[in-house]
Amino acid sequence: MSKPNKPITIKEIARKLRISPSTVSRALNDHPSIGLVTTMRVKKLAEELKYEPNQTAIFFKQRKTFTIGVILPKLSEPFFASAISAIEEVAGDQKFTVLLGQSLDNPERELNIINSFRTHRVDGILMSLGKNTTNLDFIESLHKYEIPIVFFDCVPEDVEVPKVYCDLSTGIQEAVQAFAERGHTQIALVNGPETLNASVERMLSFKKALEDHGLPFDDKYVVYSDLSEEGNYAAMEKLRMLADRPSAILAFNDYVTLDIIKFAKEKGIYLGHDVHVISFANYSMWKYMDNPPLGSIEQYPAEQGAQAAKILFQLIDKKESDAPIPNHILASKLVYQ
Amino acid sequence: MSKPNKPITIKEIARKLRISPSTVSRALNDHPSIGLVTTMRVKKLAEELKYEPNQTAIFFKQRKTFTIGVILPKLSEPFFASAISAIEEVAGDQKFTVLLGQSLDNPERELNIINSFRTHRVDGILMSLGKNTTNLDFIESLHKYEIPIVFFDCVPEDVEVPKVYCDLSTGIQEAVQAFAERGHTQIALVNGPETLNASVERMLSFKKALEDHGLPFDDKYVVYSDLSEEGNYAAMEKLRMLADRPSAILAFNDYVTLDIIKFAKEKGIYLGHDVHVISFANYSMWKYMDNPPLGSIEQYPAEQGAQAAKILFQLIDKKESDAPIPNHILASKLVYQ
DNA sequence: TTGTACGCGTTATCAT
DNA sequence: ATGATAACGCGTACAA
């Protein structure tokens, strides 16, 4: 019940035992050259005094903080919440702690966070890019400081950096196949903003999947939304106005799908009958809904986060940067509701 | 485009300018005793050399890390994701970073995380207790180390610690009133495990709310669940087996409500007609559902997190511990869907 | 106004 | 097997 206002240090232990601080240090670290007796005495006293090494001193000395920084758009997104949850678990296993920063899709905030991480001397960074990020100079900057960075989910294109992401084409193939098997020929894509990589990728894979299944591709069945509720409604309205409406829809993500469901309800369109929907990223919510989408394409946020973290720890461990740049691409998968 | 393999230090700047390191240090910190000219020269060179102070050294020296630790059960819970999202924003404003730890409701993990935080010399801790935590000795332990801790949401009872939480009684009053106004007299409570404070609190407030509205309280209308799907089903089955079934249900949380919805669908019970439901914690999901609950009782996770963070920073700033223990109780509120 | 000297807690190196 | 010393980068009392 003593009150250690001043934390116990190695020096104090040394003084009380009338030995040198270096001996204490070595004893505590099980250095082989220290005698068993001394080691025991030191450890015993350290225990009694409730000695706790001052990590800030160790960080300072070892130039290592056992800390990684994670930057992602928004923590309250279920997708990213799952990812960071998995990252934290992997990091914990490695005795690393996780520093947190959310960019809110703001490039300026992203840079601030990265700078903050750098001044905090994190050992590495995991990052999922915000929607509006265009300037990627910070990658080179981090490289100079020898801080490894691994991207996940929303990763930069055409840049040689370690990244982990989900290949949407496999899931889209499955989705189109699922539609085709059910006799659909007029399949629409409610896509995100044309400027987004994620949109382009969906579009290209969608087109290819149609071709692979011998289905015609028609521009009018691809509509774009800014992902706001109004945008989603406007996109749906475009489809509704068509002479031959689509009987199946691939939706940009689950949020879009929710708006599609709402739109359909308001317009008296019977989901799962008049039109069938498949979307991206899997909510456990769906099973509770009366007319859930046919399925959604799972992108495995937890796996992406865990995988990215593992790669980052490999990079942190071996300074050798002559190894090939590690990438990891997960296959997306259609999951039926 | 120079490659600063070894980060620039104050010493180097001093050497290049042929002045002493202390002068450089003072100049960079705008110490009044340093001449304007010298200050400018130093700052200019520091800029050119892209000098970045070594935070680990500063942390070490100042015995302060500008870091807070946040412990909560599970990050992928939307409730906690919102909370930590708000916490991170408040911390960022104060130039603090956030260390993360999830307990997964495991008391052992909780202690490990706290120890990890302590060895990392965090300046303070925010914590939401796991469901299974009984031993609260760590609070006293942290007190000895003079590490302030503020609890939020799931807070310890009968312990004099700073805490922020939501008073459920106001929301429950509103819920019971809403039911009463609609003519319900047989109102059930599908509660969580009897051992949980959260359950006891709901139960007591529920009972009082019934009395306040002149409604009878009947034990048989209070059923308990372990919050698993099976448990929720079993609890609902108990209510279904009653001679006079309840026409209204207050549910422990939204997860329970989802199972209630599923149960009702399977048993052919028409929700919003045969039986009405109000639950706790608000999902934006509800608006997309065909028969959402009547409402839910909002507990404001973001506000709780932000408020707890603000209190923690006050505690960190003023070492004076003779001030009264700051508590902050938010009123819960019924939100109609 | 500036420089000197020291200390924060730990560990690596060299000596004994 | 153990001790003495230096060093990590920075801030600051004290001296000049």
Q: Give the pLDDT confidence of B7-66 residue by residue, as tens digits.
A: 889 999 998 899 999 999 999 988 888 888 989 999 999 999 888 899 899 999 988 888
Which candidate from B56, B63, B118 shows the least CB-CB separation from A65? Answer: B56
Cβ neighbours of B162 (radius 10 Å): 21
For residue A60, give how far its alpha carbon lies from the nearest alpha carbon of chain B (Å): 5
Which residue is closest to C8 in terms of CA–C1' distance?
B61
Q: How many Å apart are CA A337 and CA B9, to the nearest integer?
A: 58
Tallying the residues shown for chain B, one arrives at 337
**CA distances from residue B232 to A64, B74, B165, B286, B321 in whole angstroms, order as listed:** 48, 21, 26, 19, 45
Calpha distance B190→B221 (Å, rounded): 8
Compute the distance between CA of residue A180 and CA of residue A157 in angstroms, rounded to an integer: 31
Helix runs in A182-212, H state only: 197-212
| Dihedral class, residue A103 (left if φ above 0, else alpha if ψ from -120 to 50, else beta) | alpha
Q: Residue B300's pLDDT is what?
A: 95
pLDDT at A5: 59
| Chain D, protein-covered positions (CB within 7 A) | 1-5, 7-13
| Domain limits, CATH 3.40.50.2300, in chain A | 63-161+301-325, 167-298
**CATH code, A63-161+301-325:** 3.40.50.2300
Which residues of chain A register pLDDT less than 50? Answer: 1-4
Comparing CB atoms, the residue among A88, A101, A144 nearest residue B75 is A88
Identify from B64, B72, B100, B116 which residue to disrupt to test chain A contact, counting A C-beta atoms within 10 A and taking the largest count.
B100
Largest CA distance in chain B: 93
Specify the pLDDT at position B1: 38
pTM here?
A: 0.87
Q: Residue A265 and residue B290: Cβ atoms within 8 Å?
A: yes
- Min distance B97 CA to chain A CA atoms (Å): 7
Quickly give B27 CA vs C3 C1' distance in Å. 14
For the purposes of burial, counting CB atoms within 10 Å of the CB of B277, is it exposed (0-12), middle (13-18) or buried (19 or more)?
buried
Q: Which two tokens stand for residue B266?
A: 């399977």
What pLDDT is attached to residue B121? 87
pLDDT of residue B197: 87
CB contact under 8 A, A81 and B75: yes
Query: Are residues A15 and B81 in contact, defined by beta-carbon separation less than 8 angstroms?
Result: no
Chain B's closest residue to A289, CA to CA, is B289
Gap between the Cα atoms of A117 and A217, Å rounded: 46
Tens of pLDDT, residue by residue, chain B (337 residues): 344 457 889 999 998 899 999 999 999 988 888 888 989 999 999 999 888 899 899 999 988 888 999 999 998 888 998 999 999 999 988 888 888 899 999 999 999 999 889 888 899 999 999 989 999 999 999 988 889 999 999 999 889 999 999 999 999 999 999 999 999 999 999 999 998 889 999 999 999 999 999 999 999 999 999 999 999 999 999 999 999 999 999 999 988 998 999 899 899 999 889 999 999 986 767 766 777 889 999 999 999 999 999 999 999 987 656 678 888 999 999 998 7
Burial of A229 (0-12, 13-18, 19+ CB in 10 A): middle
Task: Give nearest nucleotide to B11 (CA–C1').
Answer: D9
Distance of residue A215 Cα from the nearest chain B Cα, in angstroms: 32
The count of other CB atoms within 10 Å of the CB of residue B320 is 7
Strand C bases within 7 angstroms of protein beta carbons? 1-5, 7-13
CA-CA distances (angstroms) from residue A30 to A39, A40, A42, B278? 7, 10, 11, 59
Nearest to B121 among A3, A4, A55 (CB): A55
Continuous segment of H or E residues that includes residue B224: strand B222-224
Tokens found for residue A333: 């998968």
Protein residues bordering strand D (Cβ below 7 A):
A 18-23, 26, 32-35, 37-38, 60-61; B 6-7, 9-11, 21-22, 25-26, 28-29, 53-54, 57-58, 60-62
How many angstroms is C1' of C11 away from CA of A22?
A: 8
The answer to whether the Cβ–Cβ distance between B82 and A76 falls below 8 Å is yes
Tokens 């206002």 locate to A5
Contact B76 A74 (CB under 8 A): no
What's the number of CA atoms in the CB half-sphere (13 Å) around residue B148? 24
Cα–Cα distance between A156 and A314 in angstroms, integer?
A: 21
How near does any CA of chain B get to the CA of A302, in Å?
10
Q: Contact at 8 Å (CB) between B301 and B80? A: yes
Give B306 to chain A, closest Cα distance, Å: 14
**Cβ contacts (< 8 Å) between A144 and chain B: which residues?**
3-4
For the stretch B160-186, pLDDT in tens is 999 999 999 999 999 999 999 999 999
Taking an 8 Å cut-off on Cβ atoms, the answer to whether A4 and B145 are in contact is: yes
Q: How far is the CA of B13 from the C1' of C2 (A)?
A: 16
Q: Count CB atoms within 10 A of the CB of residue A185.
A: 15
Considering all nucleic acid strands, name the nucleotide whose C1' atom is nearest to the C-alpha of residue B27.
Answer: C2
Least Cα distance to B126 among B135, B134, B114 occurs for: B114
- Residue B303 in tokens: 């506000």
Which amino acid, one-letter code, is at A126?
Answer: L
pLDDT at A97: 87
A259: its two tokens:
């708006």
Q: How far is CA A252 from each of CA A13, A198, A278, rounded to the nearest angstrom?
A: 62, 9, 9
Q: Which nucleotide is nearest to A36 (CA to C1')?
A: D1
Q: Are strands B187-191 and A163-167 parallel, antiparallel or unpaired?
A: unpaired
Note whether B209 and B167 are within 8 A (CB).
no
Q: Which residues of B touch A262 (CB under 8 A)?
A: 287-288
Q: A218: Cβ–Cβ under 8 A, 6 or more apart, which residues?
A: A186
Closest residue in chain A to residue B85, using alpha carbons only: A75
**How many Cα atoms sit within 13 Å of A249 on the Cβ side?**
33
Number of helices followed by number of strands (H, E) in chain A = 12, 12
pLDDT reported for residue A1: 39
CATH of domain A167-298: 3.40.50.2300
Q: Could you tell me if B144 and A7 are in contact, meaning their C-beta atoms sit under 8 angstroms apart?
A: no
Give me the torsion for CA of B237, B241, B247, B248, rounded to 10°: -30
Give CA–CA dist A155/A195, Å, rounded.
15
Contact flag B60-A59 (C-beta cutoff 8 Å): yes
Give pLDDT, residue A320: 59
The chain B residue lying nearest A122, using CA atoms, is B56
Asked if B282 and B292 count as a contact pair (C-beta separation under 8 A), the reply is no
